[in-house]
């Protein structure tokens, strides 16, 4: 499996790339400016003649340049120990130089080498598309993570420099989808809701030692100098917001129309990698391990087609125990239930009577109390160990969650569930699991994600 990390500027792509790399240390990571088998950001893409001209022009840096160049032939052959001087390649072989990696104090060299990039209208649209599609066609790798390699730099050039319509861009990605064929990959897209606020955060963060903005002036100049920006008279903050909103909607459309089975849309700054990277098929396999023969049960078969129930998970590794906070008067308390079983069953009967047989002397029960009386209740369940991401993971969860009618809409039940989730984390469970629920929006306030939906006929 391969992963492409995408999203507009400020979405958190670098952070997500880093987190994914930590989770999957065996994967090869390609960031912007790296030698990359599919992407050419911050890379000079030169003919042999152009490359030799650069070597002659910057002769004192020849060794440094050679150490940062590789030919297209070497990418195609997937040579990890290939010669760096291209001496065995044909005259028309392209040379890819990661010019920002060349350490030098010679003024103007980066600007000189930048002119050999393929982006920002430096090559014809026909050649631009040919180069990209050819590189993806030749790509044979696996277990790789790519930052900004399938959308950002390509689409920026298509919108701002080639002034392509949305339909033309969609058509390009349909061709790219065909080139990718049956390769295994996911596009992890970080969706930003408030783009204006995201830009303001970048402006505050990307400054020099004296507090002067670095990113924003460059981004605005890039926008204003593009053919599309000039034709539309773009010059201000609102224009940048408008452009990125257009990009976001277009990229989401591409994901939904062209890459639906490969797309994973994550909320920027608010996602759970431990849950959201698994496919529905993988979650279904885990579900069937936990609940063998589930769909053969009579009460399950009675679940209506148009009223599917949900299964929800939360990875506890990065659980924020304070994600939901509610203040209560002193008479509202929380803790394990240690009282009379009949009192507990009376409370359960007021919520869902057919749950009563599930609560026994051996049940581990946690409650919210009002003046010492049960206001809400749930069981703390152990669902065993299951293989997730290639390792054994402990799964537990709150089960049979209920709040008595007179105590609802006060936050007592949700605080109880938050506390139980925290207990599971303290007990070194890897996941907390909510089984058979219709209250997805309620549990989502704590960070639970819906991974499956089902009715009486099976998964939907």
pLDDT tens digits for range 292-342: 999 999 999 999 999 999 999 999 987 765 568 899 999 999 999 999 999
2-6 and 144-147 beta bridge pairing: parallel
Q: Which domains, from first to last, does the chain contain?
A: 2-42+117-271 (3.40.50), 280-459 (3.40.630.30)
Q: Which residues of the chain have pLDDT under 70?
A: 75-92, 320-323
Q: Which pLDDT belongs to residue 369? A: 98
Q: Which pLDDT belongs to residue 392? A: 94
Phi and psi angles of residue 331, each rounded to the nearest 5 degrees, phi first: -80, -10
Q: Which pLDDT belongs to residue 266? A: 92
Query: Cα–Cα distance between 320 and 35 in angstroms, integer?
Result: 37
Burial of 390 (0-12, 13-18, 19+ CB in 10 A): exposed
Pair of tokens at residue 444: 């989502």
8-state DSSP, 101: G
Phi and psi angles of residue 116, each rounded to the nearest 5 degrees, phi first: -95, 5
Q: Which pLDDT belongs to residue 73? A: 79
Which of helix, strand or coil describes residue 362? coil
Query: Cα–Cα distance between 400 and 28 in angstroms, integer?
Result: 44
Max Cα separation, the chain? Answer: 90
Q: Which pLDDT belongs to residue 320? A: 65
Do 275 and 427 form a contact (C-beta atoms < 8 A)?
A: no
Tens-digit pLDDT profile for residues 381-392: 999 999 998 889
Q: Which pLDDT belongs to residue 323? A: 66
Query: Cα–Cα distance between 360 and 345 in angstroms, integer?
Result: 9
Phi and psi angles of residue 247, each rounded to the nearest 5 degrees, phi first: -60, -45
Pair of tokens at residue 9: 């500027």
């Amino acid at each position: 499996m391969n992963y492409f990390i995408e999203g507009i500027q400020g979405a958190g792509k670098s952070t997500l790339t880093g987190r994914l790399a930590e989770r999957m240390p065996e994967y090869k990571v390609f960031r912007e400016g790296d030698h990359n088998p599919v992407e050419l950001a911050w890379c000079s893409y030169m003919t042999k003649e152009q490359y030799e001209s650069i070597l002659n022009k910057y002769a004192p840096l020849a060794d440094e340049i050679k150490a940062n160049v590789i030919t297209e032939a070497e990418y195609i052959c997937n040579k990890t120990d290939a010669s760096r001087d291209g001496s065995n390649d044909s005259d028309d072989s392209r040379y890819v130089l990661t010019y920002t990696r060349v350490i030098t104090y010679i003024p103007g060299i980066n600007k000189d080498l930048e002119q050999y990039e393929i982006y920002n209208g430096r090559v014809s649209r026909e050649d631009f598309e040919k180069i990209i599609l050819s590189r993806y066609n030749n790509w044979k790798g696996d277990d790789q993570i790519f930052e900004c390699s399938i959308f950002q730099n390509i689409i920026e050039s298509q919108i701002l420099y080639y002034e392509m319509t949305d339909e033309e861009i969609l058509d390009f990605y349909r061709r790219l989808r065909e080139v990718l064929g049956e390769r295994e990959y996911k596009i992890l897209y970080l969706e930003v809701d408030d783009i204006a606020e995201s830009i303001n955060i970048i402006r505050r963060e990307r400054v020099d030692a004296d507090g002067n903005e670095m990113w924003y002036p460059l981004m605005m100049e890039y926008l204003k100098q593009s053919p599309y920006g000039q034709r539309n008279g773009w010059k201000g903050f609102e224009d940048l917001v408008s452009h990125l909103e257009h990009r976001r909607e277009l990229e989401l459309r591409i994901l939904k129309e062209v890459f639906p089975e490969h797309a994973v849309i994550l909320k920027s700054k608010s996602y759970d990698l431990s849950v959201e990277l698994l496919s529905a098929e993988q979650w279904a396999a885990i579900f069937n391990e936990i609940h063998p023969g589930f769909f053969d049960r009579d009460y399950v078969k009675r679940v209506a087609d148009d009223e599917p129930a949900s299964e929800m998970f939360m990875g506890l590794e990065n659980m924020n125990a304070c994600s939901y906070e509610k203040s209560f008067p002193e008479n509202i308390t929380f803790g394990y239930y240690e009282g009379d079983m009949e009192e507990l069953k009376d409370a359960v009967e007021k919520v869902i009577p057919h749950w009563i047989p599930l609560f026994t002397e051996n049940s581990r029960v946690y409650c919210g109390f009002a003046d010492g009386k049960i206001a809400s209740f749930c069981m703390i369940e152990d669902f065993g160990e299951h293989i997730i991401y290639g390792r054994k993971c402990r799964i537990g969860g709150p089960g049979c969650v209920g709040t008595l009618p007179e105590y609802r809409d006060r936050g007592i039940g949700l605080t109880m569930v938050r506390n139980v989730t925290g207990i599971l984390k303290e007990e070194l469970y890897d996941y907390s699991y909510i089984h058979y629920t219709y209250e997805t929006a309620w549990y989502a306030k704590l960070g639970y994600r819906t991974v499956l939906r089902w009715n009486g006929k099976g998964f939907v």
